[in-house]
Structure 1
Amino acid sequence: MPLQSRFLSQIDVLSDKFIKVFKERGGQIGRRLQNILEPMAQDDVDLVRECIIKGLCVYLNEDPSNLMTEHVATDEGVIQQSIEETTMGIYIIKSRDASDSPEDIGIVLEGQRVLQDLDNCALAAAMLFGLMYTLNLTYPPELMYTFEVFQKLVMELEGNSLSKKALVLKNRLYE
């Protein structure tokens, strides 16, 4: 199965449904989702995908900063120390002006940069999922539901049994 094209196209196909479900969510999570969806007005496909992925984390009551960590390129030593302390995730290094496009986007496993210079955050999420799935790594507990949704709803792999959270999301997506 072609990982990159499948993951990104499925995010695109499901994006309207995800946005509808996110906008219906109320309470504190609903407010956090609104803040995450705000940048989507810029009409940038990569930004929309990134917002969908972050929104998915929030919707599933997980912290998107456990998946994607942004660093402002000030001191390479501080950035390297933060990366070494990361078990698994995506790092985004931006210049001093955080509104600029990132200087580097990459993947960290066990404190080591395993991929770098990726084009965008959605591609990095696809590659991270692919590494986790291929290497048969256990999904981190703080992102367990997000990776389950990536695997079973987005990529449609082994989707026979879903956790309650993933099942509720699937039912709301297809209402």
Structure 2
Amino acid sequence: MGRVLKDIVAPMAQDDDVDLGRGCIIKGLCVYLNEEPGNLVKEYVGADETNERSIEETTVGIYVLKADCNSNPDDIGIVIEGQVVLQELDNFPLAVAMLFGLIYTLNLDYPRDLKYTFEVLQKIIMELEGTTLSKKAQVLKNRLCE
């Protein structure tokens, strides 16, 4: 896990972009909670039918479309039940916040493969309904309070 986290936060040392740092921390949170960041955000290079089909098959998540591997994103959006509900967002952390807000306000169940990440966002970060925590979330909260 340490090597994976090191690779995730490496871009933060090269760039002072606040949004890049926030994105690295969100992905690192997923890894720390033994969840795959790829289940939260999927990056696609180039616009073609395969990418569009993959986005339509997404239950809940964020997509990032790029023209090529090294370019800035052309589009960042949110997919719920195969439908793009928000698009042309400014950055990945904003997309995560918007996705959390949509899930919370629409009273949707958290995706099974990201339930701990969203629980931490809700109960520890946002301090909403944080009376009972799962064991993973409680361990993280205790470590943050040390």
Name the TM-score, length of structure 1 as normaliser.
0.81
Partner residue of 1:91 out of 55, 63, 66: 63
1:100-115 correspondence runs (5 A): 100-115=71-86
Name the TM-score, length of structure 2 as normaliser.
0.97
What amino acid is aligned across from residue 54 of structure 1 in structure 2? Answer: K
1:3-152 correspondence runs (5 A): 29-41=1-13, 42-75=15-48, 77-96=49-68, 98-152=69-123
CA deviations on 1:122-141 (whole Å, 9 max, x unpaired) are: 00000000000000000011
What amino acid is aligned across from residue 9 of structure 2 in structure 1? Answer: L
Q: Where does the alignment leave 5 or more consecutive residues of structure 1 unmatched?
A: 1-28
CA deviations on 1:94-127 (whole Å, 9 max, x unpaired) are: 112x222100000000001000000000000000
Match of 1:20 in 2: none
Match of 2:130 in 1: 159
Q: How many positions carry a matched residue from both structures?
A: 145
Structure with the bigger percentage of helix: 1
Partner-residue secondary structure (3-state), 1:129: helix
State the 1:173 CA deviation: 0.8
Once residues 155 and 53 of structure 1 are traced to their aligned partners in structure 2, the CA distance between those partners, rounded to angstroms, is 14
Once residues 78 and 125 of structure 2 are traced to their aligned partners in structure 1, the CA distance between those partners, rounded to angstroms, is 20
Once residues 84 and 50 of structure 2 are traced to their aligned partners in structure 1, the CA distance between those partners, rounded to angstroms, is 15
Partner-residue secondary structure (3-state), 1:103: strand
| Percentage identity across paired residues of the two chains | 66
